[in-house]
Amino acid sequence: MNVNFSPEELVFQDEVRAFFAEEYPQDILEGRRKSMLASRDIYIRGQQALHTKGWAGINWPVEYGGTGWSVTQKYIFFNEFAAADCPTIIPFGLGMVGPVIYTYGTEEQKEKFLPDILSSSVWWCQGYSEPGAGSDLASLKTRADLDGDEYVINGTKTWTTLAQHADWIFILARTNSDVARKQEGISFLLVKMDAPGITVTPIYTLDGDHEINQVFFDNVRIPADQLIGEEGKGWTYGKFLLTHERANIAGVALSKQRLRKLKKKLASYEQQGQAPADVESFRRKMAEVEIQLSALEYTELRTLASVSTGKAPGPESSILKIKGTEMQQAIDNLFFELSAYGALPNLRAQYEAGYDGDIVDDDGSSLTALRYFNFRKASIYGGSNEIQKNIIAKAVLRI
Ligand SMILES: Cc1cc2nc3c(=O)[nH]c(=O)nc-3n(C[C@H](O)[C@H](O)[C@H](O)COP(=O)(O)OP(=O)(O)OC[C@H]3O[C@@H](n4cnc5c(N)ncnc54)[C@H](O)[C@@H]3O)c2cc1C
């Protein structure tokens, strides 16, 4: 896509490019070019480098330490971020609970939590889904019962991403069962992960990784002032958070970077005389993905433009979520097709041996297979794509 930047925006682009080339930890970028895997330390160091520069709160208001960037500046930043091969910004603090706290939290909660979220010195995870309550989230069974000035929490959360690293979890829990609609009586609570009664157990995914977990709450006591907003109104705050989550899942800049890598890979295969037999058909599929990605980029910019006027991203973020994750998976499919490596190496054993960046490389079968299997998740997390279609039908198309 061609965007005509103003002279100031071109200066900003140079500044961002120079930051990633000179100031950002280069070992992180080099490691990332070899492997999509990253440790807790790598994510934190990457985010802290952004914070040191004052660039951690990309979407946050200036009064809470945000960048105050325009839509175009954000667009420039994320394109440079992806082109430099930066590891993902873990969304649970900066992208999810941060906006909930500065929008609905008390002054004390803002003072207590926002600085640590901004500096990535505290790792958060998201406790929404439960066994039996995913798409139908309002059926959740975890309870939080007020006992004096504490809530007592009992229940199970599941699919909790990177909970094994987390210092805090934000949860939706039922505080009142005597309600007309099941969306009522749910509250949004902040819980410290080392509270007695919390147990985290791993769930291993198809690619062998330990990314997700179950989190059990057995009579966990938390101070009542860790409730966000009003008791029983958690559904409103939870939905606000989900629209932020979905708007950020599209990952257009990253898909563009992966498409560039795919083209490079095809070129290198052709040079070695190893191009697919029907290379023209492969090129056509790449072009189709590129056109769709370009259309998605305009949609993303429209949504960003509306967010920059102070609005929360609305149900339109479901469109970004569906199309963005479809694009991610379409590019993975093309990598897979080009590599013609169907075999999944023993990734579980490799994870257990501890990864050091050598087990995968950008042109190797391992990365292609690993990424292909890992990213089956993209059309499920953040609310499955089928559910996003229901939301669009109801809230956008008004069917
Ligand atoms: C890798 C990964 C990481 C995740 N991380 C987190 C996390 O950190 N925190 C968290 O809280 N959750 C997390 N999730 C959970 C995720 O949000 C849920 O998996 C998702 O909402 C679907 O819920 P479910 O798994 O219970 O599937 P179900 O709700 O049981 O759905 C099963 C299938 O039925 C379809 N379906 C269900 N209802 C309808 C309907 N009404 N119309 C049409 N189709 C329907 C769904 O689309 C899906 O294909 C994660 C999930 C994954 C895969």
Measured in angstroms, how far is the CA atom of residue 186 from the centroid of ligand 1? 19
What's the rounded mean pLDDT across residues 273-297?
92
CA 317 to each of CA 27, 255, 382: distance values in angstroms, whole numbers, following the listed order: 34, 17, 11
- pLDDT for the residue 11: 97
pLDDT of 357 higher than 60: no
Q: What is the pLDDT of residues 184-209, one digit of tens each?
A: 999 999 999 999 999 999 999 887 78
Q: Is 224 in the same domain as 268? A: no
Q: What is the pLDDT of residues 62-100, one digit of tens each?
A: 999 999 998 889 999 999 999 999 999 999 999 999 999
**345 belongs to a structural domain:** yes
Ligand 1 in reach of 387 Cβ (< 6 A): yes
pLDDT of 305 higher than 80: no
Q: Domain count of the chain? A: 3
255: which residues sit within 8 A by CB, 6+ positions away? 293, 324, 327, 328, 331
Percentage of the chain with pLDDT > 90? Answer: 68
What's the rounded mean pLDDT across residues 311-329?
87
Measured in angstroms, how far is the CA atom of residue 53 from the centroid of ligand 1? 36
3-class SS of residue 200: strand
pLDDT band at 1 (very low <50, low <70, confident <90, very high): low
Q: Are 215 and 196 in contact (CB under 8 A)?
A: no
Rounded distance, CA 132 to CA 162, Å?
21
| Residue that finishes a domain, picked among 40, 63, 89 | 89
- pLDDT for the residue 310: 66
pLDDT of 363 higher than 50: no
Ligand 1 in reach of 126 Cβ (< 6 A): yes
pLDDT band at 344 (very low <50, low <70, confident <90, very high): very low
Q: What is the DSSP string of 238-272?
A: HHHHHHHHHHHH--HHHHHHHHHHHHHHHHHHHHT
pLDDT band at 362 (very low <50, low <70, confident <90, very high): very low
Ligand 1 in reach of 164 Cβ (< 6 A): no
Return the ligand 1 atom nearest residue 385 CA. Answer: 47
pLDDT band at 116 (very low <50, low <70, confident <90, very high): very high
Q: Which of 331, 355, 313 is nearest to 258 (CA)?
A: 331
- pLDDT for the residue 50: 98
Full residue range of the structural domain in which residue 324 is found: 250-396
Domain CATH number, residue 325: 1.20.140.10
Residue of higher predicted confidence among 343 and 277: 277
38: which residues sit within 8 A by CB, 6+ positions away? 28, 31, 32, 46, 87
Q: Is 228 in the same domain as 128? A: yes
What's the rounded mean pLDDT across residues 103-109?
97
Q: Is 47 in the same domain as 161? A: no
Q: Is 79 in the same domain as 17? A: yes
Q: Is 36 in the same domain as 139? A: no
* Cα angle: 210, vertex 214, 219; to 5 degrees: 145
pLDDT of 365 higher than 90: no
Q: Identify the residue whose C-alpha is closest to ligand 1 atom 25.
A: 134
Q: Are 175 and 186 in contact (CB under 8 A)?
A: yes
Ligand 1 in reach of 161 Cβ (< 6 A): yes
Rounded distance, CA 276 to CA 36, Å?
25
pLDDT band at 37 (very low <50, low <70, confident <90, very high): low
Where are any strands of DSSP class E within 205-328?
A: 210-223, 227-228
Residue 49 dihedral angles phi and psi, to the nearest 5°: -65, -40
Percentage of the chain with pLDDT > 70? Answer: 89
Q: Are 145 and 220 in contact (CB under 8 A)?
A: no
What's the rounded mean pLDDT across residues 293-303?
89
Quote the mean pLDDT of the chain.
89
Ligand 1 in reach of 321 Cβ (< 6 A): no
- pLDDT for the residue 36: 65
- pLDDT for the residue 35: 66
**390 belongs to a structural domain:** yes
Ligand 1 in reach of 203 Cβ (< 6 A): no
- pLDDT for the residue 304: 75
Choose the residue to mutate in 379, 384, 399 for probing ligand 1, maximizing ligand atoms within 8 Å of C-beta: 384
Q: Is 273 in the same domain as 392? A: yes
Q: Is 177 in the same domain as 221? A: yes
- pLDDT for the residue 367: 67
pLDDT of 221 higher than 70: yes
Measured in angstroms, how far is the CA atom of residue 140 from the centroid of ligand 1? 13
Q: Is 222 in the same domain as 308? A: no
pLDDT of 328 higher than 60: yes
